[in-house]
Amino acid sequence: MESSKRRAEALVGIRERASTVMCARVDDRMALQVVTACAMREPNELIGFLLPQHQAKRVMTYKTELALTTAEWTAIFGKEAPPLREGSVSTVVKSEDFRFALTRMSAALRCTVGEAEQSRAYARGWTQALCYIGMHLEDPDSAMEASLGTIVRADARRLEDLRAQIDDDGIDTMLMVKMLLGASEGVV
């Protein structure tokens, strides 16, 4: 009960911020997608894909103010805040598009997912999707830790290498859009 209250409060703040910047009424799903995209290291393509050009330009101007905070991520996507429904996330996680990303992420998290509690969490498609999204955020460690419960220190270097690889390769815009749509469906 407490986790759903924290999630609802976080979503209200997110919707209000997004509506103010976008100068339009925005539903919770769209607001969550936009603020999550703003929290990423390379949000330009995602924002351009999610929004019409005039809104994308305005959002990019205020991306720092709009960006999802660690506290909001934890309230909405944290381990203690399970999804209301998995929706399209389960389909995306099982897709061929995600297989390569999942393999790289699983290799980087091998010590963490070797732990019993984290292994159970990571076995769920929902958590894999959140870890994938989290890897692209400005503060990926906090996001992944909130979703998994903890990250084993032995994985730190591999995670850092994976982030560098992601930054070099660039974001897979279509896959990330599918993930953001699915994640927002799951909690709103």
> Is 69 found in the same domain as 97?
no
- Report the b/e string of 69-86 with b at 16+ CB within 10 A: ebebbbbbbbbebebeeb
Query: pLDDT tens, 163-178?
Result: 999 999 999 999 999 9
Per the structure, how many domains does the chain have? 2
- pLDDT band for position 3 (50/70/90)? confident
pTM given for the model: 0.94
Query: Measuring CA to CA, how many Å separate 181 from each of 30, 163, 164, 178, 184?
Result: 8, 22, 25, 5, 5
CB atoms < 10 A from the CB of 132, how many?
Answer: 24
Query: Measuring CA to CA, how many Å separate 137 from each of 30, 41, 47, 117, 133?
Result: 18, 6, 14, 24, 7
Q: What pLDDT is attached to residue 2?
A: 86
> Is 99 found in the same domain as 73?
no
Q: Is residue 84 part of a domain?
A: no
Q: Is residue 29 part of a domain?
A: yes
Percent of the chain with pLDDT over 70: 99
> Is 101 found in the same domain as 171?
yes
Q: What pLDDT is attached to residue 1?
A: 57
> Is 59 found in the same domain as 93?
no
> Is 111 found in the same domain as 148?
yes
Query: pLDDT tens, 72-122?
Result: 999 999 998 889 888 789 999 999 999 999 999 999 999 999 999 999 999
Q: Is residue 82 part of a domain?
A: no
For residue 28, give its domain range.
Answer: 2-77
